[in-house]
Amino acid sequence: MATKKSAPKAKAAAPKAKAATTKTKAAAAPKAKAAAPKAKAAAPKAKAAAAKVKAAPKAKAAPKAKAVAPAAPKAVAFTAKNVPTTKTQIFAAIADASGITKAQAKTGYETLLAIAYAGAKAEKGITLPGLGKLIKVQRKAGMVRNPATGEMIKSPAKTSAKFRMAKACKDAVLAK
């Protein structure tokens, strides 16, 4: 029977516990309201500090992909002193000029090479506008001179790749 008598006491104690927690929350609420004006007063100082932090130069972030058409490529004038000479420098120059990532520039460059290689195998070759024409040619057998000894040697027939520069390319390269 002791269990039956203790159960009503537990039920009666539960409302008291709830009342105590609500009193604690009610007592804490005025303190929180009193702290709010202090927080509002500190907010302008925090904004000023954040503005100083924002004024510092930021690291360059990768460009975000956009659903709109890409911007027109930048006109970049390379000279003999600033021309990219390594594969990594070429990818970086392509990426900077066209506003894409270096990985995308690498993919585009490798795709262009694959197209050029496949086109060179074709009977007519491939023309890269503004650069030139890459073609496969058959060289016939002939007699050639050995420069070390001076004797004449028979050269076998072979297939070779040939690149013919476009007029625009010649003009740009040979311009003074």
**Hey, which of 26-30, 48-52, 59-63, 88-92 has the most confident mean pLDDT?**
88-92
Torsional class of 35: left (φ above 0), alpha (ψ -120 to 50), beta (otherwise): alpha
Where b means 16+ CB within 10 Å and e means fewer, 12-50 reads eeeeeeeeeeeeeeeeeeeeeeeeeeeeeeeeeeeeeee
Q: Could you report the per-residue pLDDT of 48-70, keeping only the tens digit for each?
A: 555 555 555 555 666 665 555 55
Helices (H), 82-128: 87-98, 102-121
Q: Give the pLDDT score at 78.
A: 74
Q: Is residue 110's pLDDT more than 60?
A: yes
Give the CB-side neighbour count of residue 1, counting CA atoms within 13 A.
Answer: 0
Phi, psi of 127 (to 5 degrees): -105, 125
Taking the C-alpha atoms of residue 157 and residue 48, their distance in angstroms, rounded to an integer, is 79
Residue 127 host element (H or E): strand 126-128
**Is there a contact between 129 and 166 (Cβ–Cβ < 8 Å)?**
yes
Would you place residue 79 in the very low, low, confident or very high pLDDT band (cuts 50, 70, 90)? confident
Full set of structural domains in the chain with CATH? 74-121 (no CATH), 127-176 (4.10.520.10)
Q: Is residue 17's pLDDT more than 90?
A: no
